[in-house]
Structures are given as structure tokens and as C-alpha cells.
Structure 1
Amino acid sequence: MGVPADRILVEPRAANTGQNIEFTRDLLAAHGIGVSSVTLVSRPYQQRRAYATCRRRWPEVEVTCASEPLSLTEYVDSVGDARRVAEMIVGDTQRITRYAELGFAVPQEVPDDVRRAYDRLVEAGYTGRLIRPRPGAPQRPGRAVR
């Protein structure tokens, strides 16, 4: 893409979004690079969770999220498995609330229509990417308080 190789820093250790943000922040600091804003590039359905994770892990930076501009149909076609995409979206929707409850991300409001769609998909069996609840813990996304 025209960026000289000596201007690229690679963070290879992260196993999840939170670690990627923390390790990248530390890598940039180790190179004396001050940061006031970041652009997180992720899959389309992960942008909201990535934003909330960054706000928790690196609150002093301005956060912008981006992904390849695809319609849902184009994204499903690129993955090649509509069920898998639906399960990824259901799993990420759950994580928006669950990760805030666990302190991994800032809380976000989940609109009622999104919660209803989530419930319908879970009831229809799109559960392959859900975090299994602890005994007594709610399984569906709730209303997060800001």
C-alpha cells in the first residue's frame, strides 16, 4: 500500500481485541510515539465492541472504527456461510453487554429491537458463538447504563 517497511510496527502477541489494544499502546510508547487518536479496523460486526473495548483500555485516545465497506449480503458472500455470519453477529451482540459487565469494555445501550432480534436468533438456535453463561447469570444482552 506504499507504506515503507521501516515505518510499520507489528504487534504479534495478542489473542483478543483487548490485548491487541493494550499491546499496541505499549509498543507505540516503547518507540516514543505519542498517540491522540486511533483507527480500529475490524470485521463489520465487531466495530461496536472494538470501540467499547478501546474506550475501556485506552480511554485517553479518540477512537474511530472502520471496516471494509460491505453490505450484509456482500459480507455473507465473502464468508460463504450465512449461518456462521449470523452466529458471529449473535455472539458479538452478547459480548457487547457481557464484556461491559466483566469490565472489559465500556457499557453501551442495546436498542430494544436489537435485543428482540438477538432473542429470536438465539431461540432459533444460532448459539454457536455465544459465551456460555455462568450459573445464574443472564444470557441475553441487557440495558447497559452509561
Structure 2
Amino acid sequence: MTGDKRDIIGEDERRRAGLIWDYHQLRHKVRPCDAAIGLGSHDLGVAGFAAELYRAGLFPALVFSGGNSPTTRARFPRGEAVHFREHALSLGVPPEAILLEPRAGNTGQNIAFSRDLLSAAGIKPERLLLISKPYMERRSYATARKVWPEVEVICASEPMEFDAYLASIGDEKLVIDMLVGDLQRVMEYPALGFAIDQDVPQDVHAAYLSLIADGFTSRLVTR
């Protein structure tokens, strides 16, 4: 995976990014659900955590959803969902428990296409678990509440501290770019009809603006 790397991320930049990291995580209490969706991304930890939650008996059916993006094409050449499924199978999830949705190119499609796939399989959940990378919880929740409002949504991600996550990905600049980009989407997508509104605390918004000024901009949506 490549990004616009820097050799050094300043401590104040890391602190401000940490505010955004904390905001993105909803810290829902994970409960048994009728189905789960593992949202495709560059982070294979999503599939690993989904497998862990399946083995814990929290849901009977698991959808992996996602095609490719510029961030994941080299890492997962056959598509995010395909690679996530293979990883979950290697961790003991039985093939009959996994549904594959390999076409989605954005979060709205992840939710809508997975909903349709579950329905075609005769599964109409009342409570749904969304499993994502840690800093995507809030945006995935806001998107699901817009696209699939009749289902109760619980969000979960691999439990990791910010510094540990930075180390696990190996590209601090890219991760902070993504934190900033996801926050932009949280703020701007409701007006476009893609998500529900979410309040953004003043200190989080200030951190967002200052990180943009510092050049963490590669994942911003441009118009």
C-alpha cells in the first residue's frame, strides 16, 4: 500500500488525529444480531475480527462486501470481499455462513447491495452488526441509518489504540489522511442524501481544519 509518506509525523499532529480517531469510534455494546456485514477496505483486520465475533456466536450469517478502490487494488487484486472471505475461512468460519458481495464501490453500496443479498437468501434482519475499520464506525452507522432505516444498527471494529493501529498499517500519513477524509464525509454526505446528520464537537472540527492545513488531504473528496 502506498501513500504520500512523511518520515516524521509530529506529536501535535498525532494528538489532533487522535481526537478524530476517538470521534469516529462509537463504542457500541456488541450484542447478538441476525446478520453481520464486514465492510471492505484496506484493513484485513476487519475480516479477522468478523471471524472472531462469528466464533463467539454473535450472528449466524456474515456478508463480506466490497470491490476495489485505488487504496486496495494492489493489496487485494481479486477484490476486498473475496480476500476478506478467504481470510475468514482460514480462521474457521464455515463457507456456508458467508455471503459474498463483490461489487460495491462505496459505503452506501456496501449497505444496499448487502441488504439485497441477505434478502435473496431469505434473511431479513431486525438487528444488524456492521464491522468496519476502527475509524469508519461513525460513517458506516450514519450511512446505514440512511440507506436501511428500518434495521437496528450496531457498529464494531477491531479493538485497537490509535498508536497501535498506526503501527499495524505502517503508513501514518495515509491513516491520518483517511481519518480526515472520513470526517469530511461524515460532515458533508448528509446534505447529499448519503447519510444521517452527526454532531461534530468543536475540538474535533478544529483538529480537522488544522490537519488539512498541514497537508493531510489525499483522501478528501474534491468537487
Considering only aligned residues, what root-mean-square deviation do their CA atoms show, in Å?
A: 1.1
Deviation at 1:4, TM superposition (A): 2.6
Select the residue among 14, 26, 31 that pairs with 2:104: 14
Task: Provide the C-alpha distance between the structure 1 equivalents of 2:126 and 2:202, rounded to a whole number of angstroms.
Answer: 34
2:132 counterpart of 1:60: no
Task: Provide the C-alpha distance between the structure 2 equivalents of 1:51 and 1:17, rounded to a whole number of angstroms.
Answer: 10
Question: Which of the two has greater strand per residue?
Answer: 2
Select the residue among 90, 102, 105 that pairs with 2:192: 102
What is the correspondence of 1:1-146 to structure 2 with a 5 Å cutoff?
1-132=91-222, 134=223
Give the share of equivalent positions with the same residue, in percent.
55
Pairs aligned (count): 133
Task: Provide the C-alpha distance between the structure 2 equivalents of 1:31 and 1:43, rounded to a whole number of angstroms.
Answer: 26
Q: Deviations over 1:35-68 (max 9, x none)?
A: 1011111111111000000000000111111111
Task: Provide the C-alpha distance between the structure 1 equivalents of 2:162 and 2:97, rounded to a whole number of angstroms.
Answer: 34
Unpaired segments ≥5 residues, structure 2 = 1-90
Task: Provide the C-alpha distance between the structure 1 equivalents of 2:123 and 2:217, rounded to a whole number of angstroms.
Answer: 42
- Residue 201 of structure 2 aligns with an amino acid whose one-letter code is P
Closer, same or farther: CA 98–3 of 1 in aligned 2, 3 Å: same
Task: Provide the C-alpha distance between the structure 1 equivalents of 2:100 and 2:174, rounded to a whole number of angstroms.
Answer: 29
Q: Deviations over 1:89-131 (max 9, x none)?
A: 0101100011111110001111111100001101111111111
Task: Provide the C-alpha distance between the structure 1 equivalents of 2:93 and 2:175, rounded to a whole number of angstroms.
Answer: 32
Task: Provide the C-alpha distance between the structure 2 equivalents of 1:47 and 1:15, rounded to a whole number of angstroms.
Answer: 17
Task: Provide the C-alpha distance between the structure 1 equivalents of 2:186 and 2:133, rounded to a whole number of angstroms.
Answer: 15
For 1:66, what is the secondary structure of its paired residue?
Answer: strand
- Structure 1 match to 2:34: none
Deviation at 1:2, TM superposition (A): 3.9
Task: Provide the C-alpha distance between the structure 2 equivalents of 1:45 and 1:3, rounded to a whole number of angstroms.
Answer: 25
- Residue 31 of structure 1 aligns with an amino acid whose one-letter code is A
- Residue 30 of structure 1 aligns with an amino acid whose one-letter code is A
Q: Deviations over 1:71-91 (max 9, x none)?
A: 000110011111111111010
TM-score (normalised: structure 2): 0.58
Task: Provide the C-alpha distance between the structure 1 equivalents of 2:97 and 2:180, rounded to a whole number of angstroms.
Answer: 37
